[in-house]
Structure 1
Amino acid sequence: MKVALLSDCYPPRLGGIETQVHGLARALVAAGHAVEVFTITPGPADGPIPVHRLGLRRELPGGLLINPAARYSLRKTLQRSDFDVAHAQLGVVSPFAMDGVGVALDAGLPVAATWHSVTGHSEPLVRALGYAARWARRGAALSAVSAVAAAPLERVTGSPVAIVPNGIDTSFWSAGERPQRSGPVHVVSAMRLAARKRPAQLVDAVRRARETSGTDIRLTVAGDGPLWRRLRGRGGGWLTLPGRLSPEALRDLYCHADVYAAPAVLEAFGIAAAEARCAGLPVLTRAESAVRELVEDGATGLVVADDAGFAAAVARIATDPALRERLSAGSRQTPVGFGWPDVVQGVLSEYRRAASGG
């Protein structure tokens, strides 16, 4: 099968969708399929997977990716090529991929469209604009990376929205022999340090847990972003902000931690949380977040309703060694799934659904 992957974001830009699209391209090729990527992210065009970079040579201020002329280049290529399916990857703002769905449908291609974000407060706008419903009526196969992300799209379109989760390298992240932990309880997280991910609320929750439990709890938040300086002043010596870590360094961090904390509520999947679960860490998450789909409450982590509950859960884990050990054992013994071979099978199922008209 020859696949056209359409995505506004792609490496060398760093981020969740970028990593996922690159990973999917590699996994499809490994499964014997031909893949070409179409993106408006600037960068090199050379590499084992063909990448058509249709954007401006430089990003606009604020990292904005846009090129209204890209749709014309995409149309020309799709009309002249022998692709079997186009697969659009959609985030909160994806003008190129959204245009690409229409272009591919006009070219007569089967189209799969996957959402990597939670519609949230923009649900009325998505309903009013009507593009997702139009795509469904034209036969596109709609999917999302979690049930949390799929539900609002089903409400808006009145059409079935499949769940095609993100993929992770389970062989890389799988829990090995973990050293015996001693000393302060260590809470870890990995995220972009931006308001949407709620790192400040995590720092506050750990501070409250330290105060109420009287326990020495340490917090490490890996990642960079605009809130880094503000967070430095929000914690004390118990808070470590090492910046963005390599996968190897992150895996080592998880190996020496007790629990992974996922404080975001507008989370469509939670790749870092899935990697932490695969590494054997129990996960603490909010009930509104799609991360809850990775967690069996009380067995592989804890699911809480609000920030007060988050702080209380951190305190419980810190003061109850038996609970900590039970959650850790449950996480180590319960496979998290989401390996790329399984994800590719789900993606191929969507391609077949697209070929049959959605």
Structure 2
Amino acid sequence: MRVVHVSDCFAPRTGGIETQVGDLARHQAAAGHEVHVLTATLGEGGERGGVVDVEDGVHVHRLGARLPFDLPVNPLAGPRLLRDAYTDLRPDVVHVHAGVLSPFAFDGARLAMAAGLPTAVTWHCMLDGVAAPAAHLVARTRWSRPRAALSAVSSAAAERVRELFAGADVAVVPNGIDADRWAPAPASARAEDDGPLRLVATMRLAPRKRAVPLVEVVAAAARRLPPGALHLTVAGDGPLRDALSARVRALGLDDVVELPGRLSRDEVRAAYVDADVFLAPARLEAFGIAALEARTAGLVVLAHTGTGIGEFVTDGLDGFLVADDAEMATAVVLLAQDRALLARMRAHNRAVRPAFAWADVLAAADAEYARAAVLAGPGS
């Protein structure tokens, strides 16, 4: 099968959607498919305008333009380049990966459907605050009954897509991980009750991920515990790095919070060896791949209710799903004080592997491609 993925964002940009589209494409190529990625993200050397790289068997078409801040869009030439790519490649299916604002991806979906190509669209975002008002606009356009297989990366995200498309059939194509790669390392020599409760978070330092509120949560918990009871590592980089550092200093947390910057996957796994708890402060988390990796590595996960993390974390078993930041601070205090509870949760998470292996994800994607072919009609 010739699969063409369309995504505004792709490597070398870093983030959840970039990682997942790249991993999905590589696994499909390894399974024997011919896989292409059409993206508005420039290459490492600024490659753009149709340059094609071949990476791990995947053909990456750089269709972006040189713009300020390297924004992954191409409003002038993008539609023409997409249309030409479809004509040249003649894909069996076009798989579009969408966020809240994805002009390149939506052009890709629009042009694929206009060409009669089987089209699958997966949302990698939560549409809170967008779905209801946008639904009135969608109802007045050709998107009211799209000839595309619609999906999202979690049940929570799919609910918002259904709201946007007036109860349309929206499937779930989850994110995936290499479960063996993230399996728990041999138990650390550090005893569960030895030293501070070791907290970790891995995220892009951007407003939506709520890194600044996270350190405020830890500050609130620290005020209720003896000195030295907590240690937090926030791995990641982004536009809020300076603001986060300033907030750490203002809260007097220099001895509590460590900001190592962006870490490679191998470095993240190493950081999890001695960590106890993964904190996921975002309220609009469509899936939470970093949280799934941490959960697979055996960490207890604290996250907000109503996010995609609820797909693989059961409250009170794998971790805690909290209603707000105050409840997250309380959960941190509980785990710092009740090391027996922490040990039971860690033991469970080390012994019980969550779902979302790549075999499951590939099967879900294949089901959407078959549904897309039916929706496209005869001859597709």
Do both share a fold (TM > 0.5)? yes
SS in 2 for 1:173: coil
**Count of residues in correspondence between the two structures:** 357
Q: Does 1:9 align with 2:9?
A: yes
1:46 and 2:64 are equivalent in the alignment: no
2:132 is matched with 124
Q: Which stretches in structure 1 are left out of the alignment for 5+ residues?
A: none
1:176 matches 2:188: no
> 1:142·1:161 contact (CA, 8 Å) conserved in 2?
yes
Q: Which residue in the other structure is 2:262 paired with?
A: 244
1:113 aligns with 2:121: yes
CA contact (8 A) 1:27 1:341 kept: no
Q: 2:109 — aligned with what?
A: 101
The structure with more helix, counted as a fraction of residues: 1
Aligned twin of 2:231 = 218
For residues 59 and 333 of structure 1, what CA distance do their matches in structure 2 show?
48
**1:338 corresponds to:** 356
1:199 aligns to what? Answer: 211
* Contact 1:133 1:156 (C-alpha < 8 Å) held by counterparts: no
SS at match of 1:344: helix
1:187–1:257 CA contact under 8 A, matched in 2: yes
Distance 1:178 1:136, change over 3 A: farther
2:40 and 2:72 in contact (8 A); partners too: no
Match of 1:260 in 2: 278
Distance in structure 2 (CA, Å) of the matches to 1:135 and 1:178? 52
Q: CA deviation at 1:214?
A: 2.3
Matches within 5 A, 1:283-322: 283-322=301-340
Kindly indicate whether the alpha-carbon contact (under 8 Å) linking 1:220 and 1:240 is maintained by their aligned counterparts in 2: yes
2:36 match: secondary structure = strand
Alpha-carbon shift at residue 175 of structure 1 (Å): 1.1
Cα distance per residue 1:220-242 (max 9 Å; x no partner)? 10001122222223232110000
Distance in 2, matches of 1:226 and 1:81, equals 37
Residue in 1 that maps onto 2:245: 232
Q: Classify 1:330/1:104 alpha carbon distance in 2 versus 1 (closer, same or farther; 3 Å).
A: same
Distance 1:40 1:131 in 2: 28
- Alignment correspondent of 1:167: 176
Between the two proteins, what is the percent identity of the paired residues?
46
| 2:87 is the alignment partner of 1:79 | yes
Instruction: Provide the C-alpha distance between the structure 1 equivalents of 2:139 and 2:298, rounded to a whole number of angstroms.
Output: 41
Match of 1:248, SS state, is helix
- Secondary structure (helix, strand or coil) at the match of 1:177 reads coil
CA contact (8 A) 1:126 1:132 kept: no
CA RMSD of aligned residues (A): 1.8
1:72-115 deviation line (CA, Å, top 9, x unaligned):
12112313433111000001211011011111111111100000
Once structures 1 and 2 are overlaid, which stretch shifts more, 198-207 or 72-81? 72-81
Measure how far apart 1:333 and its partner are.
1.9
Q: Is the 8 A contact 2:138 2:144 kept in 1?
A: no
Q: Supply the distance in 2 between the matched residues of 1:131 and 1:75 (Cα, whole angstroms).
A: 26
Give the letter for the 1:191 counterpart.
Answer: M
- Structure-2 residue corresponding to 1:26: 26
The two structures have a TM-score, normalised by structure 1, of 0.95
Could you report, residue by residue, the CA deviation over 1:138-178 in whole angstroms, capped at 9, with x for unpaired residues? 42000000111110111221211101111112121111312
CA distance in 1, matches of 2:139, 2:7: 17
